[in-house]
Amino acid sequence: MKIGVLALQGAFAAHQQRFADIGVDASTVRTAGQLDEVDALVMPGGESTTMSHLMRTNELFAPIADRLAAGMPVFGTCAGMIMCASEVLDGRPDQRSFGALDLTVRRNGYGRQLASFEVDLDVKGLDSPFHAVFIRAPLAERVGPDVDVLAEHDGAPVLVRHGACTVASFHPELTPDARLHRLFVESLG
């Protein structure tokens, strides 16, 4: 299974490092041709409106949408969560998302940059807490009935999965802990 990391904007190199930490090579994806070469995709944190725009201008939005609709596994973090959600609140009028899972998120739902924080989370499938970094994080306001909540913070889902799509409000790539990346790899079978 070959993993790609969307490398248009955001913390893509940090994701590649977390995969390297567990012995998995993850290539960068900037073109439709590179997307064709991967079996799974990571959508990193960054700025969701910029990411949406860059996917359109680089002619990647439609190919990614097609691959997600066909069941390609995806791991979206922060802005990646927004890109995968079925509904985005407080987005720009021209902002698009993939609707890869039944989830309503509010951009910057935890506040702006100054409201960034770190917290230890209990995560299903991990035997000890995961230290999570929240930076202008999206807030999950509604989770569909078939979506599995893997972690919560103050009663709000912050790590969820449905089928081949796993998304996090936070940035697991910004810590030295690669356990969530390992869980994603293990989910690929």
Catalytic residue among 15, 53, 173, 181: 173
- Is 84 tagged catalytic? no
By the 10 Å C-beta count (0-12 exposed, 13-18 middle, 19+ buried), 27 is classed as: middle
- Is 171 tagged catalytic? yes
Phi, psi of 132 (to 5 degrees): -105, 140
What 3-state class would DSSP assign to 112?
coil
Catalytic residue among 15, 153, 171, 181: 171
Catalytic residue among 15, 78, 84, 165: 78
- Is 131 tagged catalytic? no
> Measured between alpha carbons, how far is 152 from 149 in angstroms, rounded to an integer?
7
**Angle 87-152-74 from CA coordinates, rounded to 5°:** 50
> Measured between alpha carbons, how far is 50 from 69 in angstroms, rounded to an integer?
22
Please report where in the chains the tokens 């969820």 appear, as a residue. Answer: 160
180 Ramachandran zone, left/alpha/beta (phi>0; psi -120 to 50): alpha
DSSP 183: H
> Measured between alpha carbons, how far is 13 from 28 in angstroms, rounded to an integer?
9
Q: Would you please indicate which residues are annotated as catalytic (active-site) residues?
A: 78, 171, 173
